[in-house]
Chains A and B, each alone.
Chain A
């Protein structure tokens, strides 16, 4: 927030710092990196996701994991932007149990890579038995390797049921520590149960199917800001890689302080992500 609290002549001319904790940069242009850095982005984190089509072989996933751990961090580095990634097989692709298990078996060889933060985004898509089975195997893998977990909750009418199934599974797993798990894409009907169970919650600013900046700020006002991050989940769909910094305007319009903006957009994601020693962005006051 760069000394924004000072007021006086510089009031309103705030420089902002923020983390994009969930962006699918492989599907974005280099212009987006430039815009994010210009807006104050200090790090971008990229969960593994669905490519828009079902991949046909484990070799396709191996190439994707190399893209997330080699090529994409190098592309971001051209803009001095630290790039981190999360690895998994997306729930949309877990109906084929044979392929899913082949992919699960090759994840450990990538976990030691310097930009890998944990296992994600795992979760459910249409709330099926096979999806649940593969989710559980991902959770086992994360626990065995002491990894952070990023969970995707299903879309639209499936979100409520899926969130409940995910919470039941995570609460029933002896090795899961809720403070090391973030459950993403919460909305008004799922956020409170996620927080009550001790997990972190992610609010996604995504047109039509998820939350808007005003609704996100409503949830922060109602549920508190302690264990919540905001993300754009920008991908190949209609989405906005600057949705997180734009939400700061909604906070300021309502009279929230620069400290509130900095806590939600920067210090919260840093606090969660720093549980992985490879995440080196620190929350000291901006110079």
Chain B
């Protein structure tokens, strides 16, 4: 399990680290998606199980009522919060 899985997953973790460094260098680290990624990453080391499920839940829209109209745009991968609260950078 570890012999086979470790190196590919190590590479993905370094990609996460490099991405977080990169968005700081480009001054876009306060984009809501970057903030969501940092919060999600904290779940990796909280010592509790079901990390994949909990990260997916944390990145999800927590509301329960259908939206009145479609934004016409695709999903972004993290919940932007109420429309006024979303801060998005390139």
Q: Are A161 and B5 in contact (CB under 8 A)?
A: no
B3 → chain A closest CB, angstroms = 10
Nearest A residue to B57 via CB reads A189
- Chain A residue numbers with a CB within 8 Å of B5 are 214
Interface residues on A, range: 20 to 34
Nearest B residue to A165 via CB reads B66
Does residue A254 face the partner (Cβ distance < 8 Å to B)?
Answer: yes
Q: Provide the bound-state CA to CA distance between A126 and B50, in Å.
A: 26
- Count of chain A to chain B residue pairs whose CB atoms are closer than 8 Å in the complex: 73
- Chain B residue numbers with a CB within 8 Å of A127 are 61, 66-67
Q: Are B75 and A158 in contact (CB under 8 A)?
A: yes
- Chain A residue numbers with a CB within 8 Å of B74 are 155
- Chain B residue numbers with a CB within 8 Å of A125 are 70
A89 → chain B closest CB, angstroms = 15
Q: Are B60 and A159 in contact (CB under 8 A)?
A: yes
Does residue A278 face the partner (Cβ distance < 8 Å to B)?
Answer: no
Chain A 150-190 interface 0/1 with B at a Cβ cutoff of 8 Å (1 = within): 00001111111100110000000000000000000001110
Q: A189-B53, A214-B5 are in contact. Are A160 and B70 (CB under 8 A)?
A: no
Q: Provide the bound-state CA to CA distance between A188 and B28, in Å.
A: 30
Does residue B4 face the partner (Cβ distance < 8 Å to A)?
Answer: yes
Nearest A residue to B78 via CB reads A157
Nearest B residue to A211 via CB reads B52
Does residue A144 face the partner (Cβ distance < 8 Å to B)?
Answer: no
How many residues on the B side are at the interface (Cβ–Cβ under 8 A)? 27
Nearest A residue to B9 via CB reads A214
Q: Are A160 and B66 in contact (CB under 8 A)?
A: no
B82 → chain A closest CB, angstroms = 14
Does residue A132 face the partner (Cβ distance < 8 Å to B)?
Answer: yes
Q: Are B66 and A128 in contact (CB under 8 A)?
A: yes
New contact pairs (16) apart from A160-B57, A253-B4, CB-CB < 8 Å: A95-B69, A126-B67, A126-B70, A127-B67, A128-B70, A154-B75, A155-B75, A157-B79, A159-B60, A160-B60, A160-B62, A161-B60, A188-B52, A189-B57, A218-B52, A254-B1
10 A-B residue pairs with Cβ-Cβ distance under 8 Å, sorted by A, are: A95-B69, A95-B72, A126-B71, A127-B66, A127-B67, A128-B68, A129-B67, A131-B66, A157-B79, A159-B56
A residues sitting closer than 8 Å to B (CB atoms) are 95, 125-132, 154-161, 164-165, 187-189, 214-215, 218, 253-254
Closest 5 CB pairs of A and B: A160-B60, A189-B56, A156-B75, A188-B53, A155-B75
